[in-house]
Amino acid sequence: MTDPVEQAARALAGNPARAEQQARALIVRNPADPRVRLILASALRRLDRAAEALPLLADLAKAWPRAARTRYEYGLCLCAAGQARDGAAQLDEAVRLDPDLADAWQAMADMAFADGDPLRERRALAALARIGAGHPELGRAAELVALGRHREAEPLLRRWLMARPRDAAAARLLAQCYVAFRAFDNAETLLRHALAVDPASSGARFDLAHALFARQQAADALKELAPLLAADPRNPAWRNLQAGCLALLGDDIGAEAIHAELAAAFPANARIAINHGHALRTTGERERAIAAYRHAATLCPQAGEAWWSLANLKVGALTDADEAAMRGLLAGNLPDAERMHLEYALGRRCEDAGRAGDAFARYAAGAALARRHFGGAGRDWAAQAQATADLFTPAFLAARKGWGAQSDAPIFVVGLPRSGSTLVEQILASHPDIEGTMELPYIGALAGRIEAAGGADALAAATPEQVRAWGEEYLERAAVHRRLGRKWFIDKMPNNFRHIGLIRLILPHARIVDVRRHPMASGFSCYKQLFAEGQEFSYDLADLAAYYRHYLAIVRHFGKAAPGTVHNLIYEDLVDHTEAEVRRLLAAVGAGFDPACLRFFANDRAVRTVSSEQVRQPIYRSGLDQWRAFESFLAPLAAGLGPEREGWRA
């Protein structure tokens, strides 16, 4: 015969009213049984009557102070009754009494997410990972992954999987390590293996979608997200990733709508407010973006990204009061990531105020943290430029003339970051026959695959069919970004200058525009910019100089090896002689002149780069010589440039 207490407990999830009725009857029969009073309290909470449950739970907690389950229910009821601080304290006590009480940890994680407390949320998620692993050794590795300590977790997980290759949970954890290391191929292989072993694992499917998004394969990521969203359409993690994918595919309105919904659902979460601010900035809603960033900074003053996002609008959004607040934060204890963002933000504020020495000190402090965070470049740029020249000789290119996909649709805008490429993109995208997309990752990803397959040897051995297939693959991937049906489209990935030879090979009719700026100006502009990722060379002045020389060497090589391949546009000339340079630019890409290109600032297209606010106003000269106020601090850049400081135009 079924135990009536167990029967009442089982009714809680599906029919709390019935559970209440049964619990009250049991209390009449046995008022001393604490189990039925706890069931009654839980039923009342589930029926939105938490206040009625509180006296019951207070008595239970007093009578049985070491009962973790009672503390857990007491914490939930206090939170439901609007006493969140006391509720959180009860949850803390519950997990202290029983470190394996998963329900309490989950409640703590949910509360921390809603409150925008990432440290508390991470602690709870780490405990849940440990508990869910089911084995102490695997649990330790799972905890390390949740805490972001992937280097420590990776060898533990490899050893575990060597002995248990069909452990889907361990494969998923190791894949998370590989995503952190940006070893996306390894991560995808492991996650697909995990799903083959356990097709119903929503966690593995979400991780696969995230890995695909991280390698900027947004369409593929959305396919993996689709069944998750169908089953749980309100899940904030699913929705946030969906918004990121839509933004990558150019659906900025759809992405902003999702971020707005999340911001409304979780108004106390600073991370969600920052994401919403980014989406608003992309769509040109500057004032609403500022409001979102300020809301985030109010919710979590130490959220460095909120402050940097305000500074990075480059419209003087920071005030004297903001500067005082940032200085106060920097005087205290902060995680390196938050300190890094705040140093850059305060540097921008000091620069706007005309205090060059103070500004540079802040930029230098931020750059040192960024170099540690992202890793130093540590590459021999001169050797890489020479390797490019050695491979793509005139004879090599002539022997492969006519290979590749025959489309003339792509226009590649290349150069150093912060050299005016966003402005050139905006000018071109204002032409009725040219569509602006974004900084597409597909050439770089293809180059990485070829490098992994043998690099120069793989390219030299490629057949005409293989080369054409690479070009068609690029066009197919880029097609999802072409939403306007125009004749040409722009790929504005600046670092594609490193792949001019590959572009020339697989897309022989593509246009390539090199946007070049004074090396001291572009170098300093890079140095004071905190990039999201992928520009590790920019956090050291000597490395910046080497990278600029590397860039010049490659572009100049193709000017000799394949004359006419690249159209060189000097940013300073574009500023001083706008119409003449715009006419030259349009002629170089094969488009006729259109006056709309001179009114590029009226174009309301989404702009995703850090120059988004600058290209929404007419060209101005004030930024050309900003670096001169900092010249005394830029000696390593000047020395590293050598003769190219003056000879960069050649």
Question: Which residue, chain included where needed, has tokens 């546009």?
Answer: 569
Q: What predicted TM-score, i.e. pTM, was given to this entire model?
A: 0.84
Residue 619's pLDDT is what?
67
The helix (run of H) or strand (run of E) holding residue 513 is strand 511-516
Q: Which two tokens stand for residue 611?
A: 């120059």
Residue 467: name the closest of 392, 398, 402, 407 by CA.
402
Sign of the four-CA dihedral 547, 553, 556, 561 = negative
Residue 163's pLDDT is what?
94
Residues 6 or more apart in contact with residue 281 via CB below 8 angstroms: 289, 309, 313, 612, 613
Question: Which residue, chain included where needed, has tokens 């601010």?
Answer: 277
Q: What is the mean pLDDT of each run of 10 residues along the chain (650 residues)?
A: 82 90 90 90 94 94 94 95 94 96 95 89 94 93 94 96 94 95 91 96 96 90 96 95 93 94 95 95 92 96 95 88 96 94 97 95 96 81 94 96 96 94 93 93 92 92 97 95 93 96 97 96 95 89 95 96 94 93 96 92 61 55 82 96 94
Question: In whole angstroms, how far apart are CA 643 and each of 99, 427, 537, 638?
Answer: 65, 32, 20, 9
CA–CA gap between residue 603 and residue 590 (Å, rounded): 21
One-character DSSP codes across 191-226: HHHHHHH-TT-HHHHHHHHHHHHHTT-HHHHHHHHH
* Number of Cβ atoms within 10 Å of the Cβ of 542: 13
Q: Which two tokens stand for residue 170?
A: 């361990």
Residue 554's pLDDT is what?
97
Residues 6 or more apart in contact with residue 265 via CB below 8 angstroms: 234, 236
Q: Per-domain residue ranges for the chain?
A: 4-176, 381-645
Q: Return the bridge partners of 230, or none.
A: none
Residue 612's pLDDT is what?
47
Q: Which two tokens stand for residue 173?
A: 């954890």
Question: In whole angstroms, how far apart are CA 146 and each of 96, 133, 142, 271, 396?
Answer: 20, 12, 6, 18, 49
- If you count them, how many residues does the chain have? 650
pLDDT in tens, 614-626: 554 566 666 678 8
For residue 81, the one-letter residue type is: A
In this structure, the strands spanning 488-491 and 566-570 are: unpaired
8 Å CB contact between 552 and 415: no
CA–CA gap between residue 493 and residue 425 (Å, rounded): 10
pLDDT in tens, 44-101: 999 999 999 999 999 999 999 999 999 999 999 999 999 999 999 999 999 999 999 9
Rg (CA), the chain: 29
Q: Return the bridge partners of 568, or none.
A: 514
- One of 1.25.40.10, 3.20.20.70, 3.40.190.10, 3.90.1300.10 is the CATH number of 4-176, namely 1.25.40.10
CA–CA gap between residue 546 and residue 376 (Å, rounded): 13
pLDDT in tens, 587-618: 999 999 999 999 988 766 555 555 545 554 56
8 Å CB contact between 500 and 555: yes
Residue 348's pLDDT is what?
95
8 Å CB contact between 225 and 241: yes
* Number of Cβ atoms within 10 Å of the Cβ of 531: 15
CATH no. of 381-645: 3.40.50.300
CA–CA gap between residue 359 and residue 332 (Å, rounded): 19
Residue 443's pLDDT is what?
96
Count the alpha carbons within 13 Å of 529 in the hemisphere toward its beta carbon.
Answer: 24
